[in-house]
Amino acid sequence: MSVLEKDTNRRSQARLSETERKKVESVARFRSPVIYEVIRRQGREELHRPSVSLWVAGVAAGVVMGFSVVAESLLKSHLPDQSWAPLVEHLGYSLGFLIVIMARLQLFTENTITAVLPICAYPTMQNFLAVARLWTYVLLGNLIGTLMLAAFIRYSGALTPQDYTAFAEVSQKVLESSFGHALVGGMISGFLIACLVWLTPTAQAAEFWMVLVITYVIALGGFSHVVVGSAEAWFVVINGDAGFGHVFGGYVLAALIGNVLGGTGLFTLLAYTQVVGELDEESKQQTDEEDDEDEVEPQEDADEESDSESDDNSGSSTSKDKDRRRSREPSAA
């Protein structure tokens, strides 16, 4: 920080009371390096979580994400067949995301940014293996969870015939999308979910609405999401509408690749690139400040040594004066 900036900050703070300064800090927007550091630390914590915790949280998230399809189907079933109906119907798509994100469960597409930022900062083999472990447990957990939900809907009879028909109709979209379309749609949804993760540290009370809006846009655009799409894919396979290889080798695989490319390849790298220069500059400033402190300390030590030598010299001079006075005094008879 330059002398001019320091002087400006000093004068600005002098005009504000302590309460006013706290208000300024509370409403100030987070700088990008602060958001980056928050998400990086979250990612580091996730990488060190026990495998069983990742697995259970992943399965729970998969089951919950299946309710995005359930909610969308229920709205479709009860809305009139009008041109505006999809605008309301797609609101149900956000249900699973709202529960998973606000409950802090393990969703694969969230980890395309949180788990990767630690690698951007420290690209070691250990970190790469840790990310592979995290992605494996979470993705498999999500897929098992959506399978459980799809099987429950198929065999439990929990839905009315009308709602069940709507669920089957919503799930048919995995058969209507080509590999290329699902891939591009997956890139867009992966990018948007990564944006959602990046915004979370500053969202605070607005987190609910932020999740709702972004996931609603994904639904409106028909962009593919590997976890929600897998719930639909499991259902059409269990229902006998298509084979496993056709659905999972097509739509689900394309959505998975797209989500990773959009969340990791695009957004994460762009987010890291925009802050890496500031991080390097702050690190350089911190190093310069430490160097300045190191330069000051030897001078202080020299001053202490000088003071000590002065004290020793004054003490020896006093002793010599006393010896002279004693030699001049007459000896006792």
For the chain, give every domain's residue range: 31-275
154 against 38, higher pLDDT: 154
Q: What's the token pair of residue 2?
A: 């330059």
**323, amino acid identity:** D
As a whole number of angstroms, the distance between CA 24 and CA 12 comes to 12
By the 8 A CB rule, do 100 and 64 touch?
yes
The pLDDT of residue 73? 96
pLDDT in tens, 157-213: 999 999 999 999 999 999 988 999 999 999 999 999 998 988 888 877 889 999 999
Look at residue 332 and tell me whether its pLDDT is greater than 50: no
pLDDT in tens, 135-156: 999 999 999 999 999 999 999 9
As a whole number of angstroms, the distance between CA 187 and CA 194 comes to 11
> What would the mean pLDDT of 51-59 be, rounded to a whole number?
94
Among 120-129, 214-223, 272-281, which is the least confidently predicted range? 272-281
Nearest CA-CA partner of 97 in 189, 4, 234, 202: 189
The pLDDT of residue 41? 87
The structure's pTM equals 0.75
DSSP state of 160: -
Q: What's the token pair of residue 109?
A: 């597409």
By the 8 A CB rule, do 88 and 97 touch?
no
The pLDDT of residue 330? 46
User: Considering all CA atoms of the chain, what is the largest pairwise distance in Å, rounded to the nearest integer?
Assistant: 134
Domain 31-275 is found in CATH 3.30.230.10: no
